[in-house]
C-alpha cells in the first residue's frame, strides 16, 4: 500500500507566491490610481471667469456640492493607491543599488500624497459645511479663494512633486534596467513635460500624463518576471 507524504512548501516557493501577489496588487493599484486621478478632477468643475451671481448659483446646487464630496473621496483613494504602488516600486528598485535616487523618489512620492490629501480636503470642505454640518454657504470671496487655492495646489506643488517622484523612478529604471527601459523613457518624458508645464502655470493640464505613466508602470510591472 502506497502512502502519500505531503511536502511542506519551500521557502523559495512561498516567497515567489508572495512576490507574485504583491506584484498583482501593485499593478491593479496603478490602474486604479489612474482611474481615481481622472475621477478626482472630472467629478467637479467649478466655472472659471464666472460672475458672482453665476458662481453663487453654481455652489447653491446641492448636486454640485455632492460632486465636491465625491471628488474628495476619489482624491483620498488616489493618494492611498499611489502609496501602495510606490512602496512596491521601491522594492523593485532596490537591486539597482541607487539609494539616493530611490530615497528621493520615495520622499517626493510622500510629498505628492500629502499634497493630494490637502487638495481632497479643499475639494470637499464646502460640501461638508453645507451638506453635512448644515452651515450656511460661505460668501463669494471665500468660495473664490477656496477654489483658487485648490486649483493652484494641484497645478503647482502637487504635480511638481509627482513629476519629481516619477523622474527619479525613471532614472533608476533607465540606468539599471530593473524594469523594461521603455517604461523608464516614458516616465522621463512625462515627468519633464509636467515640470515644464508647472513652470509656466499649466501643471493641472498634465494629469493625463500622470495617468499614462501609471498605466505604463502597471504593464511594466506585470511583465516583470517573478523570482
SS (H, E, C) 62-78: HHHHHHHHHHHHHHHHH
- HSE-CB for 46 with a 13 A CA cutoff: 25
Average pLDDT over residues 110-119: 96
CA dist 220 and 152 (Å) reads 32
Read off the pLDDT of residues 141-152 as tens digits, 9 standing for 90 and up: 988 998 889 999
Res. 11 pLDDT band, cuts 50 70 90: very low
Reading the block at residue 111, the C-alpha cell is: 510629498
Distances (CA, A) of 125 to 51, 84, 90, 138, 176: 22, 26, 33, 11, 44
According to the model, what pLDDT value does residue 97 have? 83
Residue 1: is its pLDDT beyond 80?
Answer: no
Average pLDDT over residues 51-67: 88
According to the model, what pLDDT value does residue 12 have? 44
Reading the block at residue 70, the C-alpha cell is: 465625491
Three-class SS of residue 88? helix
Instruction: Confirm if 46 and 127 have CB atoms less than 8 A apart.
Output: no
CA dist 31 and 85 (Å) reads 10
According to the model, what pLDDT value does residue 20 have? 79
Res. 13 pLDDT band, cuts 50 70 90: very low
Task: Write down the domain spans for the chain.
Answer: 16-222
pTM of the shown model? 0.87
Residue 166: is its pLDDT beyond 80?
Answer: yes
CA dist 210 and 208 (Å) reads 5
Average pLDDT over residues 132-145: 89
Instruction: Confirm if 195 and 167 have CB atoms less than 8 A apart.
Output: yes
Read off the pLDDT of residues 20-57 as tens digits, 9 standing for 90 and up: 788 999 999 999 999 999 999 999 888 777 788 888 88
Instruction: Confirm if 65 and 59 have CB atoms less than 8 A apart.
Output: yes
Amino acid at each position: 500500500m502506497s502512502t502519500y507524504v505531503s511536502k511542506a512548501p519551500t521557502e523559495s516557493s512561498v516567497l515567489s507566491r508572495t512576490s507574485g501577489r504583491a506584484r498583482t496588487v501593485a499593478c491593479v493599484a496603478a490602474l486604479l490610481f489612474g482611474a481615481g486621478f481622472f475621477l478626482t478632477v472630472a467629478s467637479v468643475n467649478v466655472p472659471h471667469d464666472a460672475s458672482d451671481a453665476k458662481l453663487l448659483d453654481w455652489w447653491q446646487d446641492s448636486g454640485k456640492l455632492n460632486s465636491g464630496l465625491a471628488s474628495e473621496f476619489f482624491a483620498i483613494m488616489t493618494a492611498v493607491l499611489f502609496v501602495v504602488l510606490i512602496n512596491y516600486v521601491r522594492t523593485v528598485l532596490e537591486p539597482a543599488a541607487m539609494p539616493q535616487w530611490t530615497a528621493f523618489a520615495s520622499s517626493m512620492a510622500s510629498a505628492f500624497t500629502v499634497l493630494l490629501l490637502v487638495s481632497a480636503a479643499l475639494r470637499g470642505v464646502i460640501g461638508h459645511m453645507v451638506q453635512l454640518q448644515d452651515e450656511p454657504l460661505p460668501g463669494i470671496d471665500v468660495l473664490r479663494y477656496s477654489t483658487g487655492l485648490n486649483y493652484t495646489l494641484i497645478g503647482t506643488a502637487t504635480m511638481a512633486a509627482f513629476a519629481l517622484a516619477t523622474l527619479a523612478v525613471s532614472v533608476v529604471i533607465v540606468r539599471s534596467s530593473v524594469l523594461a527601459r521603455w517604461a523608464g523613457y516614458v516616465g522621463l518624458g512625462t515627468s519633464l513635460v509636467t515640470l515644464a508645464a508647472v513652470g509656466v502655470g499649466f501643471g493641472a493640464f498634465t494629469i493625463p500624463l500622470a495617468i499614462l505613466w501609471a498605466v505604463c508602470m502597471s504593464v511594466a510591472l506585470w511583465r516583470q518576471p517573478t523570482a
